[in-house]
Amino acid sequence: MIEAIELFDLSNSIESSRPIICEIGSWKGKSSYVLASAIKDKRGVVYSIDPFNGDGDVASKDTYHREIEKLGVTLLENFKNTIDTYGLRKIVSIIPLISKDARSNFKEQRIDLLFIDGNHEYESVKMDYDLWTPLIPTGGCIVLHDVKAVHVYGPKRVYEELILNNPIWKDQRIVGEMGIATKA
């Protein structure tokens, strides 16, 4: 709950007249709902990037597939249903690709808030960081989920190596299991 509140507050505090949020890893849509709800009156957009196939880091893959089997629909259909239930389809732009492929076709020139919660293997988290952070302007935010998780190590390592003591980031902090920083 504390993470959802923090994501809402971060999104809601974006000062741009057209907030742009990019979420890598959307799963069933809870964080997309929170991010989009915060900017729905600001003509913003949340790009939800996920291949919607349940493939991911080794530690999570089996759990993901068991959860998908329980849904009764595809993960993408479930995600769309979640977004539609809350009337957020005009705000959430679904990109059903892996991060690397989505980045090569991404048209926006900036991202006000980047939420990385995709594949949690170090190489994947670092690739997401390297590909997407150049689009974050001064004052924009990055959030890495599962920095404090015990079942995966990638987010924590990226946060410690590339954000924590890096002068391009300020206001580094942990909220729940999320590592958060603002571009200096």
**Tens digits of residue pLDDT in 34-62:** 999 999 999 999 999 999 987 777 667 67
Q: Could you give the number of structural domains in the chain?
A: 1
Which of 2-11, 53-62, 79-88 shows the lowest per-residue confidence on average (mean pLDDT)? Answer: 53-62
pLDDT of residue 4: 97
Per residue in 86-128, pLDDT (tens digit) is: 999 999 999 999 999 999 999 999 999 999 999 999 999 999 9
pLDDT at 169 over 70: yes
| Mean pLDDT estimate for the chain | 94
Q: What is the pTM of this model?
A: 0.94
Q: How far apart are CA 1 and CA 164, in angstroms?
A: 24
**CA 96 – CA 87 distance, rounded (Å):** 20
Beta strands in the chain (DSSP E): 20-24, 45-49, 92-95, 113-116, 141-144, 169-175, 178-183
Q: Which positions ≥6 away from 110 have C-beta within 8 Å?
A: 20, 135, 136, 137, 140
- 80, 81, 82, 85: CA torsion to nearest 10: 120
The number of beta carbons lying within 10 Å of the beta carbon of residue 120 is 25
Any idea what the CATH number is for the domain that residue 106 is in? 3.40.50.150
Return the residue matching tokens 């957009």.
45
Domain extent, residue 169, equals 2-183
